[in-house]
Chain A
Amino acid sequence: MSDHPAEIKEIERIAKGIRRRVLEHSIANNGGYMSQACSSAELLASLYGGILNFAPVGQPIDPPTFIGVPEVGIHTYKTGQQFHGAPGDQYDRLISSPAHYALVIYSALIETKRLREDGLEHFNRDGSTVEMIGAEHSPGFETTTGSLAQALSQAGGIALARKLKKEKGNTWVFMSDGEFQEGQTYEALQAAKFHGLDKLRVIVDVNLNQCDGPMDTVMRIEPLADRIRAFGWDVTVLDGHDIPAILAAAREATNNPHVLLCYTDPVRGLAIMEERKPTLHYLRFTGADERAKYEKAYQEMVK
C-alpha cells in the first residue's frame, strides 16, 4: 500500500494539470476529447507519476515533425516510445491502446516533463506527429492502435519477447472499456494467460461510455471482472479516481497477468459536462454560449 504523501500529492498535481490542459485546448480549438481527460486523469497521472519505472529523458522533448511512414529498408522512423526513455531490462513499458486518448496522454507527458510545455500547440496540425488520434510516431505511443483493441495482443507479443529475454520490467497496457466489445481483446486475454505472461499489466478506464453514449445502451460488457477472471487473469476492481488504491493495486505482486478495472466518472472535475449527457465522447461546443460556460469553468479550475 502506497501511503507516501509526497507521491500522492505529485500525482494529484499531474491529474489536475491533465484536466486543465485538455480543457484549455478544447476551448481554444472548439473541441476535444474532454470526457476522457475527466475519467482517466488519475489513471494516467498514477502511471506516469508513480507506477511506471521509465528511464529519464533529460530535457522535455520537442515533438518531431512528421517525416514519413515506416518503409522497407528505411530506419529513420522513430516511434513515440522515445518519450518514455530508453527501454531496458529493468524498465517498464507502456502501450497505450485507445489512441483517441492522445490529447490526454500528451498532457500527462507534459506534466511529467517528457514532452515540451508547448507540445499541444502541434496537436492536429498539418505535418505534425502530435496527431489527434495517436499513431506510433506520436508522443507516448509505440504502436498504431487507432483501430481499437489491437494493442493488448501486440503488448502480449512484447511481454512474451521480454519473458524470453528474461527482462525484469513490467509491460503495461492502458485500455478503454469500449475495447472490451471487440473479440480480439478476449483472444489476447486467453493467449496471455496460456503463455504465462505474469508481467503483463492492464489498466482500464471503465467510464462506461463510448461514442453513442452509455455502454448499457450500446452493447453491455458487464460483468467485466467476472469475464476477465474466467480467462485466468487476476482482476482488481477499484475507484479510478482513488490514487492510493490505484497505486496499491498496481504494485500488488501477482502470479498471473493482472487487470486493474478502474471505474471512473466521465465528468469528474468538470461538472458542467453533466449537461451534455448522454453523449460525452467528444466535446464540441454547440455555440458561443456553451463555450463561455466552459471558459468560466476553466477560470474556476485554475483559481
Chain B
Amino acid sequence: MSYEIVARPHQQNFIDWAKDKPKVLVLSADLTNSCEVGKWRDTYPDRFFSMGMAEQNMLGFAAGLAREGFEPWLHTFSVFLYRRPLDQLQMSVAYPSLKVRLVGFLPGIMTPGGVTHQAIEDIAIVRAIPNMTILEVGDATEVESVIEVAHEIDGPVYIRMLRGEVSRIFPKDEPFVLNTARILSTGSDITLITSGIMTEEALRAIPLLQDRGVSVSHLHVSTLKPFTDPRIISALKSAKHGIITMENHSIIGGLGSAVAEVMAENGIGVPLQRIGLKDTYAHGASQKYLMAEYFMDAQALIRAVENALGRKLNIDEAELEEQRSVTVHSSAKAEAL
C-alpha cells in the first residue's frame, strides 16, 4: 500500500480558492510560513493581516472583522488557537456565533516541539463550546476540500489541519462532506472509527486483520462536531465484538468520548476501546516514537482487536512495517516550528 505524497496541499489550493472571495481574509500570528500562507500573503497582501505573536488579541480582531461581514481565516498552530485565547474564543467569537475560521496546524503529537506545542485536548475543549463546528482532515484531498465546507458553515469553525508532506488517501473527486463519515471497509466483528492521521495508521493494520479473518467495519470521521452522522450510528450498531476508536488526541473528550455518547444514547452495548493519549501530557519526540510510546500506532490497534476478539492474531512487527507506506512524515523534524 502506497499513497501519493502531496507537498504542501494547502498552500496553492487556498490561494486558488480565495481568488474570487474578497471577504476572505487571513490573520496570522507570526507563523505564516509554518502554516503555509506565506505565498497567500504575497498574492493577496491587502487581505493578509499580521497580528504578531498575540493570539488573544487576534481572536478579538477576528470577531470584529466577522461582525462587519468579513470572513477571517486564522492560521497558527492548533495550541495557540484555543489554549491561551480560550476566553476570547468563547466570548468574542463563539457566543455571537461569528463566521471565524480557525485553521490549526500540528494537532496532537505531530510536533517534536513538546508539551507546549502539542494540542492534545483541543477537541475536548472546543467540543464543549456551544456553536462551534470541528473538522479534522486526514489526507491531502481533505486538506483541499475542507476549505469550502468550512466556508459554507454559518458559524465559527475549528479545523485540525495538516501541512508539509501529506498522503493522498482519498480520491481527489471524493471531497470532504460535512457530517458524513467515509466508509473504508465493512464488516461485522469490529467497528473501527478513526480520525485525522490515525486513519492512515489504522489502514496499515486493516489488510493484516482481514487476512486473519477479522471482519472490520472501518469509518474515517472528519466532522467531530456535530456528531450526528447516521452512518456512524449504524456502524456502531453492527459491531458484534467491540468498537475501537483511534485519535491523535486525549481519549477524554474527543472522538472516543463522542462515540461513547452515541453508543450510550442508542443503547449499543458492546465494549468500547479508545486508542489515544491516556490522560497524560506527552513530550518532545518524533511522531512515530510518540505513537509507539503511547500505544497509538497500528500495533496498538491490533492489540485492541485481539482484546475484543479474545484471541491472538499472530501479526508481527515486520509484517506491519511492510505496510508502512511512507516513513511517517520524514521531514517533520526539519520543519521550522
Enumerate chain A interface residues (CB-CB to B < 8 A). 30-31, 66, 69, 71, 99-100, 124, 126-128, 131-133, 135, 137, 144-149, 178-179, 181-183, 210-212, 215, 217-219, 279, 281-282, 284
Contacts and interface: CB of A to CB of B under 8 A. Distances in A.
> 6 closest pairs, A vs B, by CB?
A219-B52, A146-B116, A282-B336, A131-B284, A126-B289, A181-B52
A212 B52 CA distance: 9
A189 to B, nearest CB: 15
A147 B116 contact: yes
B153 interface: no
A132 B334 contact: no
B228 to A, nearest CB: 34
A62 to B, nearest CB: 18
Do most interface residues of chain A lie in helix, strand or loop, or is the interface mixed? loop
B281 A178 contact: no
B229 interface: no
Contacts of B280: 69, 71
A148 B285 CA distance: 20
Contact of B282 (A69, A217, A218, A279): A69
A145 B114 CA distance: 11
Contacts of B28: 212
Contacts of B312: none
Contacts of B282: 69
B149 to A, nearest CB: 28
A147 B30 contact: no
Nearest to B112: A132
14 contacts: A69-B115, A69-B281, A99-B116, A100-B337, A126-B286, A127-B285, A135-B283, A137-B283, A144-B116, A146-B116, A210-B30, A215-B52, A219-B51, A281-B336
Do most interface residues of chain B lie in helix, strand or loop, or is the interface mixed? loop
A224 to B, nearest CB: 13
B336 A147 contact: no
B78 to A, nearest CB: 12
Interface in B108-138: 112-117
Interface string B48-69: 0011111011000000000000
Contacts of B284: 124, 131-133, 135
Interface in B269-305: 280-286, 289
B106 to A, nearest CB: 12
A217 B246 CA distance: 42
B293 to A, nearest CB: 8
B240 interface: no
> Which size bracket describes the interface of B in this complex?
35 or more
A178 B31 CA distance: 12
Q: Which of A124, A215, A217 has the most CB of B within 10 A?
A: A124
A137 B283 CA distance: 10
Contact of A211 (B31, B54, B56, B83): B31
Contact of B79 (A126, A147, A215, A279): A147
A145 B116 contact: yes
B114 A178 contact: no
B80 interface: yes
A144 B112 contact: no
Contacts of A284: 334, 336
Contacts of B113: 132-133, 146
A224 B115 CA distance: 30
B33 A211 contact: yes
A66 B284 CA distance: 10
B133 to A, nearest CB: 25
Contacts of A31: 334, 336
Nearest to A125: B285
Given A69-B281, A183-B56, A217 B50 contact: yes
A219 B50 contact: yes
Given A133-B116, A147-B83, A279-B33, 10 more contacts: A69-B282, A69-B283, A124-B112, A131-B112, A131-B283, A133-B337, A147-B84, A178-B53, A211-B30, A211-B32
Contacts of A128: 285
A112 to B, nearest CB: 24
Interface string B90-112: 00000000000000000000001
A127 B32 CA distance: 30
A181 B53 contact: yes
